[in-house]
Structure 1
Amino acid sequence: MKFEEILTHLGEFGRYQKIQYLLICLIAMPCAYISLQNSFLSASTDHYCRVNDTQTYQETSPVKNFTIPYQVDDQGMIVWSKCERYNVTGLEYTPDGFAARQQKLECDNGWVYDTTTYENTVVQEFDLVCDKDWQKQLSKSIILFGKLMGSLVFGQASDRFGRKPTFICALVLTLLSGVGTAFSPNYIVFAIGQFLLGFGEMGLFLVGYSWLALS
């Protein structure tokens, strides 16, 4: 029996199939946002060590000039240290006169971030800079690992329990993990949310695709 003959018995792409296709696409299309959201959530901005609690980011200021180490690159541009600050302990006599006694320390009071482009990111909220920069990179891999696991689990689940209940489970999981990620109190919760987002998103995409293919 040819494919065209099968359609005469099953019916062609009618109103029901069109409505079902539209509804599933409305749910599946935002999956692209989930794939790209970490690039914006984990965006890095310019930063330097915080010296006092009321300090705000500035390109240059007396406090920054006095407390943040810097060097001049080959192009003559000033490059400020992002992970060290001066600990000013007093004055000492030098051949040029009195100067501040300065000792380099790691940032021990947080960082000041440039919020011109990004007002708030995960990097700024959880201080994922300097020795914690690897955590920012890890979060980008975690969501991909979630996708890998989701493709393995939801494919088998849809064959065993049916595509509709599996699709609904993936949808609920994605919604809950998305809300949970938005209100993450720490990096651990954020990382778990990224995994669950990738896990659920792959369930929505794969199950929705196979569901439409068999409709």
Structure 2
Amino acid sequence: SSSSSSTVKMKFETILDEVSGFGPFQIIIVVLLCSPRMVLPLHFMLTNFIAVAPPHRCDISSLADGGLFGNLTQEQRLTVGIPQREDGGPRSCEMFAEPQFQLLSNSSSSGLPTVQCRSGWVYDNSTFTSTLATEWDLVCDRKSLTKTSSSIFFFGVMLGAVAFGFLCDKFGRKNTLLASYIMSMVFGFSTAFANSFVLFSALRFLTGFALTGLSLNSLVLSIEWVDTAHRSFISVIGSLTWCVGNMLLAGIAFLVTDWRTLTMAVTAPLGLAVLTWWWVPESARWLLANGKVEEAQFYLDRCVSACALANMNVQEKQGRSYSYLDLIRTPKLRWLTLQTGIIWYGVASTYYSLSLSITGFGLNIYLTHFIYAAIEVPAKLTVYYVVNVFGRRKCQAGTLMLTAACVAINIFMPKGRSGVLVSVDFMTQLRSTVTRQKLLMRLSCCVYVEQMGDKYKKKERKKGCNSKYEQ
């Protein structure tokens, strides 16, 4: 019938085509699901600010026992109590075993006995009120623990990718998304109240685990409600929210200098995400694949109604369940999975090694972080157009090779120099090289995400993406 009230039976893909694959219904979904994704970089890059070790020196109060320092000024006390660096500042991890009063007459300090800091450290709190390093003395021989906490967080991300990949197939994308919202919020706020580094690391692990569910399900839900032609667009939009959140982190961290308050501040937006979850539709593809045709029809009616089309009934056969074993079931899939896994490891490790190393470039860390985040925007927008001209294979190979070249150049850069001693020209070249490297790395990331969506068949796509989860 040609009446607007008539019912037309067609396949799910055909219905999406009828609404041009991206109508008002899809726009609402993208807004509801992409906005919470801005929380991801707030947590993934959080250690750039909460784990900073500000300038510090040994607490030399133990040398003043018995009034040995007398009427010495603070500068004189540091002179007799702590050996100096080449730039004239006090060393961070050493102090003299005994006060060296002869140094007040400009004597040489070479060969004088030194010891590790006995009574802790004194920190410069002019930039940061409190960080992990200042609260638990994660400096000197304990400074590697800050990197350990980052590794623990990303280990949680890795396990979360596997777990939530299974859970969203078992219980649905929408229900799993709510669980990840709540878990991320609970563990995120709990982290701010950790009273030991061990507890902090454990809660960061759980936060990373939970945030993976947010990332995977929000992207999968967005993609499964649009047609094939708009999937690249959705991927780029979702990726741009990462840039926005990453740039916001620099501003939030600049305003909030206490690590506990900052952790709560970057977790708080999840409360709004929980409220907006009620308007998020379940994936019609998942409902149909699990035989829930009536519920799928309910959401399809909403989609059709939003686009002012005639009523439509979906025709879709219930498919079998797929697991991670399907990624290695045939020789071709095994080879593809191995290839994509190796490339993904290179892309992710290089991206995060750059993004989590924002010190040592002679710039304010807030500005450096903001520049690193902002440089991703043109890269992601460029990918959307370039891949349509040159193809994914050429773009992927080109960006990877150019990135490798920039990484190789850094090997030959002088190390161990401060920004004060290095010429402006050298620092400009260094920052330029790293910035180009960052830009090319992001190009490679975006191209690879799109390429994986094309390589795997529909039923294997999400499994493949979960197994190589990055952000």
CA change 1:91–1:141 in 2 (3 A) is closer
Structure 2: unaligned runs, 5 residues or longer: 1-9, 63-73, 103-111, 226-471
Identity %: 31
The answer to which of 110-119 and 158-167 deviates more is 110-119
2:119 is equivalent to residue 105 of structure 1:
no
> What code does the residue aligned with 2:49 have?
F
User: Can you list the C-alpha shifts for 1:56-90, whole angstroms capped at 9, x where unaligned?
Assistant: xxxx722211211224x3xxx22532222224379
Amino acid in structure 2 at the alignment position of 1:69: P
SS of residue paired to 1:112: strand
1:65 to 47, 58, 79: 79
Cα RMSD after superposing both structures: 2.8
**Higher helix proportion (structure 1 or 2):** 2
Give the aligned length.
196
Q: Aligned-pair distance for 1:15?
A: 3.5
Residues 156, 68 of structure 1: alpha-carbon distance in 2 compared, 3 angstrom cutoff: same
Instruction: Label 1:91 to 1:3 Cα distance change in 2 as closer, same or farther (>3 A).
Output: closer
CA separation of 1:39 and 1:89: change in aligned 2, threshold 3 A: closer
- Once the two structures are superposed, the pairs formed by residues 130-145 of structure 1 within 5 Å of their partners are 130-145=140-155
Please identify, of 23-32 and 203-212, the stretch whose mean Cα deviation from structure 2 is larger: 23-32
Query: Which of the numbers 32, 48, 56 marks the counterpart of 1:39?
Result: 48
Matches within 5 A, 1:1-215: 5-7=14-16, 13-52=22-61, 61-71=75-85, 73=86, 77-88=87-98, 104-215=114-225
SS class of match (2:115): strand
1:133-189: CA deviations, max 9, x gaps?
121111121121111111111011100111111111111111111111112211011
Deviations 1:74-110 (A, max 9, x none): xxx2253222222437999xxxxxxxxx853321211
Residue 12 of structure 1 deviates from its aligned partner by: 5.0
Structure showing the higher strand proportion among its residues: 1
Partner Cα separation in structure 2 for residue 21 and residue 157 of structure 1: 22
Secondary structure of the equivalent of 1:88? Answer: coil
1:193 counterpart letter in structure 2: L
CA distance in 2, matches of 1:179, 1:145: 20
Q: Contact 2:81/2:100 (CA < 8 Å) preserved in 1?
A: no
CA distance in 1, matches of 2:100, 2:164: 64
Give yes or no for contact 2:94–2:115 (8 Å, CA) kept in 1.
Answer: yes
Q: Write the distance in 2 (CA, Å) between the matches of 1:45 and 1:91.
A: 28
- Partner SS for 1:5: helix
Rounded Cα–Cα distance in structure 1 between residues aligned with 2:79 and 2:99: 16
Look up the equivalent residue of 1:149 and give its one-letter code. L
Q: Flag structure 1 segments of 5+ consecutive residues without an equivalent.
A: 54-59, 93-101
Distance 1:201 1:149 in 2: 11
Rounded to whole Å, the distance in 1 between the matches of 2:13 and 2:220 is: 21
When the two structures are superposed, what TM-score results if normalisation uses the length of structure 1? 0.80
Query: Partners of 1:213 and 1:8 in 2: how far apart?
Result: 14
- Give the distance between the partners of 1:174 and 1:141, measured in 2 at CA: 18
TM-score of the aligned structures, taking structure 2 as reference length: 0.38
Q: How many Å separate the matches in 2 of 1:170 and 1:7?
A: 28
How far, CA to CA, are the matches of 1:23 and 1:3 in structure 2?
Answer: 22
| Separation in 2, partners of 1:3, 1:160 | 21
